[in-house]
Amino acid sequence: MDIDETKQELIKQAEQLPEDVREQFVTRVQEMSEQELQDFLKQLAQKQNSWQGECLFCSIANGKVSSFKVFENEKFSAVLDINPVSEGHILLVPKKHVESLEKLENKKEMLLIVEELSKKMKQELGVHDVAVLISSAGHLIIQLIPVYQDTVLQFSRKKIEKEKMEEIAGKLKCDVKIELKKERVESKKEIQREEETIEDKLEQAPRRIP
Ligand SMILES: [Zn+2]
């Protein structure tokens, strides 16, 4: 391929770029000497290789690949899934490369974002319910899948024998003592507060003379 053909090929590949960027790019390519063109091609190849080595979801979360973004803050990005289970399927991705929920530092923030996005889906898309799926493709992904009225998510299901179910339940049984204790203490306090106020009111109320 001679230098002009290479330039034409490059310009063709730039068709997807936004117009103003493309114009600049085309001018730059046309003005390149043969040496400049070779250096540029080398750089391009290196960039492509390094992108291929990087985690796809790091690239998505940090805006290095184009996506349909619906939310972004310092720590998270949310984009539309390009192969949605249903219309409005969102992927919420931490910007930092985290493999699993266990290793995520901002779990509470994540839940608040899930809540907000779910609200928005219901308001704007008329979504009946939102199924939240925490998964990992090497990078933690929280999937928000809209469930529309009178539709069912297409997961294939099967019946399992009672004994097997009991065995599985036994294996998965767990306790979250710390959280439960906290809640109990708080609700006790509230009850006490209520009792006090009722007593206060009784004392303040004028006594009936029999
Ligand atoms: Zn990653």
Residue ranges of domains in the chain: 3-53, 60-147, 162-204
Q: Please give the residue that has the higher pLDDT: either 183 or 44.
A: 44
Query: Bridge partners of 142?
Result: 92, 134
pLDDT(208) > 60: no
Distances (CA, A) of 125 to 32, 82, 91, 135: 50, 17, 16, 24
Q: How far is CA 180 from the centre of its chain?
A: 28
How far is Cα of residue 187 from the mean position of the Cα atoms in its chain? 33
Per-residue pLDDT at 181: 46
Please identify every residue whose CB atom is under 5 Å from ligand 1, which is an ion.
Answer: 55, 57-58, 97, 139
What distance in angstroms lies between residue 204's CA and the mean position of ligand 1's atoms?
A: 63
Q: Is the ipTM of this complex over 0.95?
A: yes
Residue 28 has pLDDT above 80, yes or no: yes
- What does the alpha-carbon distance between residue 166 and residue 171 come to, in Å, rounded to a whole number? 9
Report the separation in Å between the CA atom of 112 and the middle of ligand 1, taken as the mean of its atom positions: 22
Q: How far is the CA of 44 from the centre of ligand 1 (A)?
A: 22
**CATH 3.40.190.10 matches 60-147:** no
List pLDDT tens digits, range 159-193.
889 998 899 888 878 776 655 445 455 555 555 55
Please, are residues 29 and 13 in contact by the beta-carbon 8 Å criterion? Answer: no
For residue range 112-147, what is the model confidence (pLDDT) as tens digits? 999 999 999 999 999 999 999 999 888 999 999 999
Three-state DSSP state, 2: coil
Per-residue model confidence (pLDDT) at position 180:
47
